């Protein structure tokens, strides 16, 4: 399994009226984690898309345990947990210090410009090794 960690600071615009990180922004953070994991292995989503392939989220779940607040420095662990010929699955753990705030997982499918499922590109498969 491939693992990558990314630090993210909660910005004011990402919070709700109570000063908590808005629930929708966790999905954005997960996307940051996936992108940085791929980049750290020498990959580029831009290059994949320029090649006519796209990774679309087909399933996502989030388990909120504790809230994050404005200006918190968070650490996101992103792990590739499973790869099939056309799909890739990730798990996420979001921490403030040593405190686990949120967990989640997602499944992405690889599609062509017509939206048809296709095999994952070699660059993505190699980054997961």
pTM above 0.85, yes or no: yes
**In whole angstroms, what is the distance from residue 2 CA to residue 43 CA?**
13
Q: Mean pLDDT of all residues in the chain?
A: 93
Closest CA to 4 of 31, 40, 57: 40
pLDDT of residue 127: 66
What is the SS3 assignment for 40?
Answer: helix
**In whole angstroms, what is the distance from residue 59 CA to residue 56 CA?**
9
Q: Classify each residue of 87-100 as buried b or exposed e, where b means 16 or more C-beta atoms within 10 Å of its C-beta.
A: bbebbbbbbbeeee
* Annotated catalytic residue 16: yes
pLDDT for 23 beyond 80? yes
pLDDT for 1 beyond 80? no
Q: Which residue has the tokens 């979001």?
A: 94
The answer for residues whose C-beta is within 8 angstroms of residue 114's C-beta and 6 or more apart is none
**Where is average pLDDT lowest: 50-59, 62-71, 76-85, 117-126?**
117-126
13 class by beta-carbon count within 10 Å (0-12 exposed, 13-18 middle, 19+ buried): exposed
Domains, the chain, with CATH or none: 3-127 (3.10.129.10)
pLDDT of residue 129: 67
Which ranges of 8-105 would DSSP assign to H, the alpha helix? 25-40, 45-50
Average pLDDT over residues 87-102: 97
């Amino acid at each position: 399994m491939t693992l990558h960690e990314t630090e993210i600071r909660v910005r004011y615009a990402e919070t709700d009226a109570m000063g908590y990180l808005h629930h929708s922004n966790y999905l954005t953070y997960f996307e940051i984690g996936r992108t940085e994991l791929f980049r750290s292995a020498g990959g580029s989503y831009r290059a994949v898309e320029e090649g006519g392939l796209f990774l679309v989220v087909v399933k996502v779940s989030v388990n909120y345990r504790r809230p994050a607040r404005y200006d918190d420095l968070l650490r996101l662990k992103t792990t590739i947990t499973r790869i099939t010929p056309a799909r890739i699955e990730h798990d996420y753990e979001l921490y403030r210090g040593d405190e686990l705030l949120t967990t989640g997982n997602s499944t992405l499918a690889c599609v062509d410009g017509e939206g048809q499922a296709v095999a994952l590109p070699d660059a993505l498969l190699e980054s997961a090794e």
